[in-house]
Amino acid sequence: MIEECLAVEFRVTGDDCPLAVATRATGVPVDCEPPQHRDDGNELLRFGAPHSDALAETLDADERIRYLHRAVDGDRDEYRCLSKHPCAVHELTNAGFMAESLSYRDGEERHVGAVVGHDVLRGVLEAAGETVGVRLERVYPLGPESGGSGATRRWDVTPAQEAALRAALDMGYFTVPRGATASDVADELGISKSAFLERLRRGQDGLLRGALR
């Protein structure tokens, strides 16, 4: 039995999958569950994004997307569809990468997941080296203290809360003096100020609870 499990994060650039293209065209961030591959070559996709008609129209116009469904939930949209175009994550998955979450920002992707043992990690890194635009961002041991079943369960933070925290950090919301206001970050995320502050509060709470366990 292999005792070590490693959390891994990849950054992907230059992918021409529908979600990457749509976020590049609209600037709307997308958080996606790992795609499910069908025997007929199609991918089952389930993802969410800030409410945006532009994103919905861009996806609907993409001939590689079929059966697109959008459910509006307040200031956020939840999508389901079929895609004829495989994502770069499949090359990593075939080598042993267990994807937990995918996020898309302005055409770039962030894949978070896990691998079991260093031998599998070497194979995944070889696959990454042969896949255009895939770069290893970080890797660290995933121990019992991480909780849950995967790398994204290391902290009790949802993808939307993580996006709010990252945007706030990148834009200088936490600096003194502040480099951006709550309204600035909310506009960047395409959500209301109150929604941003609520996600920020819940995200910070999840991070602190995870760190203090």
**Cβ burial, residue 62 (10 Å; 0-12/13-18/19+):** buried
159 vs 211, more confident: 159
Weakest mean pLDDT among 8-17, 120-129, 148-157: 148-157
Residues 111 and 174 both lie in one domain: no
Q: Among 151, 172, 189, which residue terminates a domain?
A: 151
Query: For a pLDDT cut of 90, what percent of the chain falls above it?
Result: 45
Residues 102 and 197 both lie in one domain: no
Average pLDDT value over all residues in the chain: 86
pLDDT score recorded for residue 91:
86
Residues 137 and 180 both lie in one domain: no
Weakest mean pLDDT among 51-60, 112-121, 159-168, 204-213: 204-213
Residues 100 and 122 both lie in one domain: yes
Is the backbone peptide bond immediately before 159 cis, with ω within 30 degrees of 0? no
Residues 41 and 83 both lie in one domain: yes
Going from the C-alpha of 106 to that of each of 69, 75, 133, the distances in angstroms are: 22, 20, 15
Q: What is the mean pLDDT of residues 181-200?
A: 92
**pLDDT one-digit tens code per residue, 48-94:** 999 999 999 999 999 999 999 999 988 889 999 999 987 888 889 99
Residues 60 and 86 both lie in one domain: yes
Instruction: Count CB atoms within 10 A of the CB of residue 84.
Output: 14
Mean pLDDT comparison of 57-61, 108-112, 178-182, 193-197, highest-scoring range:
57-61
Residues 43 and 73 both lie in one domain: yes
Query: Domain range holding 133?
Result: 5-151
The answer to whether 182 and 199 have CB atoms below 8 angstroms apart is no
CA dihedral 96, 42, 85, 151 (to 10 degrees): -30
105: β partners: 108
Residues 190 and 205 both lie in one domain: yes
What band does 211 get if pLDDT is binned at 50, 70 and 90?
low
Residues 196 and 117 both lie in one domain: no
Split into its structural domains, the chain has a count of: 2
132 vs 44, more confident: 44
**pLDDT one-digit tens code per residue, 107-150:** 999 999 999 988 888 899 888 888 878 888 888 776 554 444 44
Residues 116 and 186 both lie in one domain: no
Going from the C-alpha of 45 to that of each of 102, 113, 126, 211, the distances in angstroms are: 11, 17, 26, 32
pTM of the model as a whole: 0.67
Residues 127 and 199 both lie in one domain: no
